[in-house]
Structure 1
């Protein structure tokens, strides 16, 4: 019962935050598709790759090298590079290119049925300058700080297959910083998600609803996106398996 009370408190607090609204906002409905992989290279290293596509919004490819610490919290640190394309503004035709250098640290603590996941991410964002619907050779620069907390409830495993269903709730808050940002530091986004998934030995299939609140960098114009998320998580193991003696 304590676990369910905790879920109710968590959902109440964060859902109320994402319902924050302003008079000068717009609201959209979107489909968000993602494919995320982790390829184990050795005991302590793995390769992270993920790609996301939101039609009429953006497409991003991200890669990184991850180091796995040997501790109870399953801490990892990743350093990587990403490239993104943002769809043109209304009545325009030019996509905005963005290149990112990013790094993150994650940790997990778990009970028999609950997983609690924390992620702190840094992004250095180089965004192509567009003037009169034409891309120039210049880039704007700012950086972003992101913190994600996710709570996951795991149902019992299928005794024959080892597969199981799970539910999740998460919230991520983001802040932009830099010379081009109002006051050099400003709230950027809040992403609140509710969903469920199905986990096999090497893959997970996840369906979620995300309410995304975005605030412009230099004005009080805000936007709310209601996203239907379809994610696939895929784990690969390229480490050599030690053969047991005959």
Structure 2
């Protein structure tokens, strides 16, 4: 099967990939450089399941309400909401707030730290072929994480910034319809970078690489698969190899439709 890409989409793809991998190379280079001056590197293996349910409720031609819930046992719980503006058919800008619980083991005790996270993101998609969709997302998080003092949670919070760069490729099998749904496979990679006065050793935060398969209906998408999440801890020399089984659902709701009985 031959796949021919439009010239304008090829240029867009080259620009996105160059920008993305420039960030990835620079961030991982910094992680290695920082770790080389720190004590011996420590690696921890973790195996988890990531449950996620995301909704987008269309309230007008230009606006939608974003809500999502994520849970990874002993790692994080995320409740996030936002207002999405549809700039074009393929580009959206979203601003919102997230509340998180971040379990951490301190001196043998499990502490559930809180986080308050205002966030904004710009997301765009571009068809590279009738079966292939490229999605690119840039997200900014303003993280306010509860501080641990003397082995206990305090009322103080530490604040810093994070940038996230996501590139995703989705291939749809249009000839393999199943109950009005279209199967697909999805390959994605996201780089997360920290910055701020509180960040000393982990400007590189983490890298997330995932390969999933799923089925897309008109207003509902199910997907499952594997994610490798490589995380550098704040000490600089502690790294986590996180192996995740993903179970996600995306639900699109149209609230602009008029009641047919009226």
TM range (shorter): 0.7 to 0.9
Match of 2:73 among 41, 51, 55: 55
Matches for 1:79-228 after TM superposition, within 5 Å: 79-89=95-105, 91-110=108-127, 111-156=129-174, 161-182=179-200, 186-228=203-245
SS state of the match for residue 111, structure 2?
coil
Contact 2:176–2:183 (Cα < 8 Å) also in 1: no
Match of 2:60 among 28, 42, 45: 42
Match of 2:251 among 216, 234, 240: 234
Structure 2 length normalisation: TM-score? 0.81
Structure 1 length normalisation: TM-score? 0.86
Q: Could you say if the C-alpha distance between residues 3 and 230 of structure 1 is closer, same or farther in structure 2, counting changes exceeding 3 Å?
A: farther
Structure 1 residue runs of 4 or more that deviate by more than 4 Å after TM superposition: 1-4, 20-23, 157-161
Contact 1:94–1:133 (Cα < 8 Å) also in 2: no
Unmatched 5+ stretches in structure 2: 5-16, 36-40
Unmatched 5+ stretches in structure 1: 5-9
When the two chains are superposed, the root-mean-square deviation of aligned CA atoms in Å is 2.6
Shift of 1:58: 1.1
Shift of 1:227: 0.3
Shift of 1:142: 0.5
Equivalent-residue separation in structure 1 for 2:251 and 2:221 (angstroms) = 7
SS state of the match for residue 109, structure 2?
coil
